[in-house]
Chain A
Amino acid sequence: MTSENNVTDTNVKIAARDVQVYYGDNHAIKDVNVDIEDKTVTAFIGPSGCGKSTFLRCINRMNDTIDVCRVTGDIRIDGEDIYDRAVDPVQLRAKVGMVFQKPNPFPKSIYDNVAYGPRIHGLSRNKAELDDIVERALRRGAIWDEVKDRLQAPGTGLSGGQQQRLCIARAVATEPEVLLMDEPCSALDPIATAQVEELIDELRQNYSVVIVTHSMQQAARVSQKTAFFHLGNLVEFGETDKIFTSPEDPRTESYITGRIG
């Protein structure tokens, strides 16, 4: 176990200690401890209902929007407790961006979708700067070439894969430090999935990326670290190669060999 003191010494971006999540009476996440590194892709895998998405939503406090949800324990980003009373979730979410399972572009133009975050956070001083931010974000989202001629077209008119890349561009436009992805490819076809996976690999250079996936192949393809969740417990966490080749826990082995899940 790494102690809290040396968290800052290593490359740790997010540190979770004894995290418990309750939905009403249901104990959804039990005693989760994990260190997520900067400039790394970390994958959360596990059977559905195992709590991997729930834990992901704790990292940017999206669970706050659900009335019956209660979180205890300690999650720190750069050493700062994000559940501290002084923390404004609005500021936190600007720092920790999120991409959802189903592409959810706003019913606005492509440009306005991407500009939405920079506008509400006041990241630009004028139109030219905003244009710059939008272009940069769309390039980083690997969709610039496809949409540069129709920035004013509605975002909902794009194909599923394009929509998801637009949502990723939208998320990176606010210059986050961490990017959370909740099964970002589950609604996409294989070609779009490949494009998004490629994108995730590029994003690793600037961000700490956490991705929830139900596909072990995807986890193996895109991530450096993998965490296996089962029934609300973090069963095993380590180098992706190691998890997939020589798991320590029998449950992990059962899952990756297809016996449970």
Chain B
Amino acid sequence: MTKSSLLVQDARTAKRNRAETRFKAYGMAAIAVGLLMLVILLVTIIGRGTGAFQQTFVTLPVTLTEGKLDKKGNRDLADIKKVSTFGYAPLLKDAFEAKVAEAGIETALKSKAMAGLLSKDAAAELRNYVLANVDQIGDTVEFEFLASGRVDGYLKGRVTRESIANDKNINAAQLDLVDALVADGSIAKKFNLAFITGADASDARPEAAGMGVSMIGSLFMMLVVLALALPIGVAASIYLEEFAPKNWITDIIEVNISNLAAVPSIVFGILGLAVFINYMHLPNSAPLVGGLVLTLMTLPTIIISTRASLKSVPPSIRDAALGVGASKMQSVFHHVLPLAAPGILTGTIIGLAQALGETAPLLLIGMVGFIASNAPETLADGLMAPNSAMPAQIYEWAKRADPAFYERAWGGIIILLVFLITMNAIAVLLRRRFERRW
């Protein structure tokens, strides 16, 4: 073999170094692709979802004509209630006509077509106002009504003059009027609190749909999960980690738990449907059932993380407690458990966050396909009355035909992610604050 100098790189080494550079580049590319996907996902969510937090409103002074609302003129609430929302529609038409005339806008539209720019919710909103303020009948009151989904879409660029060619709900002349009213300042986009606090709405009224009620549904489910999964999970972990003898039964339990953690979530939905609804006759769509299903699903996660935090408490602590004459049970409950508490809490929060975003099992226990229109009033109602949940509500919107609901769905995702990020941030902070190295 010829003597080669170390200072000169031979051809083969150069080639190998090029391969090295390539390989490293693949790794960097993989990381870059992963991060790029994250960025695209987040940009998409924010780009398409923020619109849901803004809604187009129409400012409209409405004359509450006595002749239409209270024919007897005695302001008797019972009589006024007999006027249905249909009875309020003419008021809106008149008001719109007056508004257009006052603003000096030329249009060939009939008043019905003008009122069509308003949400179908507007008449009901007006009626509710009148029923609450009977004494204002006869006055002219300025309202801010939701504009219809199409008008809202037009202002947000989702609906264009080309896209409405075959649309029965809106025509070019109406858009002209919208343009004029936007210039006039009567139609404008504003922050839409109702999206966060309000209830879902039917197919025809995407502009009125909100996340509020489904948020309450999710809240009740999380309460159930917290109330059941945390104590059961901690109890099971304490047994397995501190007391269980090493035999085939505990082996089976352990294998079982790690397998349950990997069972597809939809299987838990089937279990919920078969056991809680068909067999135990708990009500369909109830947050209680959702909570029970999610509890079973979250339990393995909580057990695994709790056992890890129990394991991280050094045996010397247990020995010290036993050494002063505490019972085994006392050493666990007085010393080990408090020391493991931050870790347990962190694991529980992460488990809850997982449960909060889970959708598939909720589909099977009926938490989609209907409109959760009012918030529950009592605790029992909150647990037993049909409701939706945040991810189920998002799914529901994604399935609807009107693209206006897609914006809602993305907006709903933003709200859901805000919750998840908050929960995970709390978990991280807890871990940082209380982390102890033995």
Which residues of A pack against B, CB within 8 Å?
Answer: 77-78, 80, 82, 84, 86-88, 90-92, 95, 120-122, 175
Contacts and interface: CB of A to CB of B under 8 A. Distances in A.
A88 B17 contact: yes
Nearest to B8: A86
Given A82-B6, A91-B13, A122-B12, 16 more contacts: A77-B6, A80-B6, A80-B7, A84-B7, A86-B8, A87-B6, A88-B9, A88-B13, A88-B17, A90-B13, A90-B17, A91-B6, A92-B6, A95-B6, A120-B16, A121-B12
Nearest to B14: A88
Contacts of B10: 91
B280 interface: no
A175 B1 CA distance: 9
Contacts of A120: 16
Interface in B1-38: 1, 3-10, 12-13, 16-17
Contact of A80 (B5, B9, B17): B5
The interface residues of chain B, by DSSP majority, are classed as loop
Interface size class of B (residues with CB under 8 A): 10 to 19
B16 A90 contact: yes
A244 to B, nearest CB: 34
Contacts of B6: 77, 80, 82, 84, 87-88, 91-92, 95
A124 B4 CA distance: 17
8 contacts: A78-B3, A80-B6, A84-B7, A86-B7, A88-B9, A91-B6, A91-B9, A91-B10
Residue among B5, B6, B8, B17 with the highest chain A CB neighbour number at 10 A = B6
Nearest to A123: B1
Contacts of B1: 175
B22 to A, nearest CB: 15
Residue among A84, A91, A175 with the highest chain B CB neighbour number at 10 A = A91
B372 to A, nearest CB: 56
A121 B17 CA distance: 12
Nearest to B7: A86
A80 B12 CA distance: 20
Nearest to B9: A88
Interface of B: 1, 3-10, 12-13, 16-17
B163 to A, nearest CB: 58
Contacts of B9: 86, 88, 91
Contacts of A95: 6
A231 B8 CA distance: 36
A56 B13 CA distance: 24
Contacts of A121: 12
Nearest to A96: B6
A92 B10 CA distance: 12
Nearest to A94: B13
A90 B6 CA distance: 10
A92 B7 CA distance: 9
A81 to B, nearest CB: 8
A95 B4 CA distance: 10
Contacts of A80: 5-7
A120 B8 CA distance: 18
A88 B8 CA distance: 9
Nearest to A80: B6
B16 A87 contact: no
A87 B7 CA distance: 5
Nearest to A175: B1
A84 B7 CA distance: 8
Contacts of A175: 1
Contacts of A88: 6, 9, 13, 17
Contacts of A92: 6
List the 7 closest A-B pairs by CB distance, nearest first: A80-B6, A86-B7, A87-B6, A91-B13, A122-B12, A88-B13, A88-B9
Contacts of B4: 91
Nearest to B20: A90
Contacts of B7: 80, 84, 86-87
A92 B4 CA distance: 11
Nearest to A91: B13
A78 B4 CA distance: 11
Nearest to B3: A78
A84 B17 CA distance: 17
A175 B2 CA distance: 11
B273 to A, nearest CB: 48
Nearest to B1: A175
A11 to B, nearest CB: 16
Contacts of B5: 80
A147 to B, nearest CB: 25
A95 B13 CA distance: 13
A17 to B, nearest CB: 17
A129 to B, nearest CB: 13
B318 to A, nearest CB: 34
Contacts of B12: 121-122
B377 to A, nearest CB: 62
Nearest to A120: B16
A202 to B, nearest CB: 20
A91 to B, nearest CB: 5
A46 B4 CA distance: 34
Contacts of A82: 6
A160 to B, nearest CB: 30
Contacts of A90: 13, 16-17
A121 B4 CA distance: 14
Contacts of B16: 90, 120
Nearest to B15: A122
Contacts of A122: 12
A92 B9 CA distance: 10
A88 B3 CA distance: 16
B275 to A, nearest CB: 47
Residue among A88, A90, A92, A120 with the highest chain B CB neighbour number at 10 A = A88
